[in-house]
Amino acid sequence: MPHDRAQPPATDPSPLSAEEDLVTAVLTASRVLVAISARSLGEVEESLTLPQFRMLVVLQSRGAMSLSRLAEFLAVNPSTAMRMIERLVAAGMVVRETGLQDRREVRIVLTEEGVRTVVDATDRRRAEIAQVVAAMPPEQRSGLVAALRAFAEAGSEPAAPLRQLDLLGW
């Protein structure tokens, strides 16, 4: 017997079903955002991977930090973070700085080229996201800001700067 798609469900969705719908919607939206991120990064720096770019963003948003702390923020093991750092040092995106008081302390610091890469890729993402938002029905945009801010806060992500040019001192 064919299923009548126009017929409403017999019962209200369970809280678990509503939560699954929310997770599925966020997962689908994240695919859009990852695609935008990949395109914007490819236009700025073809050789940079998304995980390497994420490392640059963490350094840009949270400041210089040790290898172990950086690995913790990225949820990778220190050896993986070290390989990423090696590639970023070779690309001129980060440098290692020795601590002034403790010469054994080494911090990973974003270079001007690293900052410029984050700014350029983020500006491109911002423009493409603005196009997606503009294509949304206006009445559906109103709750999006609060929901996305709450989502980012729950994920412990600091807010992006309003203007990327501020990072370069322009």
- What is the H or E stretch that residue 67 is in? helix 67-74
So what's the pLDDT on residue 166?
A: 47
Q: List the domain boundaries for the chain.
A: 48-139+163-170
Residue 156: C-alpha distances to residues 58, 59, 71 (Å) = 12, 15, 15
Q: Which of 45-54, 65-74, 83-92 has the weakest average pLDDT?
A: 45-54
Q: What is the pTM of this model?
A: 0.73
CATH, range 48-139+163-170:
1.10.10.10
Per cent of the chain over pLDDT 70 is 85
Q: In this structure, which long-range contacts are made by residues 72-80, counting pairs with CB atoms below 8 Å and at least 24 apart in sequence? A: 76/51
So what's the pLDDT on residue 169?
A: 46
Q: Rounded CA gap, 67 and 64, in Å?
A: 10
So what's the pLDDT on residue 10?
A: 53
Residue 135: C-alpha distances to residues 22, 36, 76, 132, 139 (Å) = 21, 15, 36, 5, 12
pLDDT, one tens digit per residue, over 25-36 is 888 888 998 899
pLDDT, one tens digit per residue, over 4-32 is 445 555 555 566 688 888 888 888 888 99
Beta pairing partners, 97: 107
Q: Rounded CA gap, 137 and 8, in Å?
A: 24
Per cent of the chain over pLDDT 90 is 48
Mean pLDDT of 143-160: 85
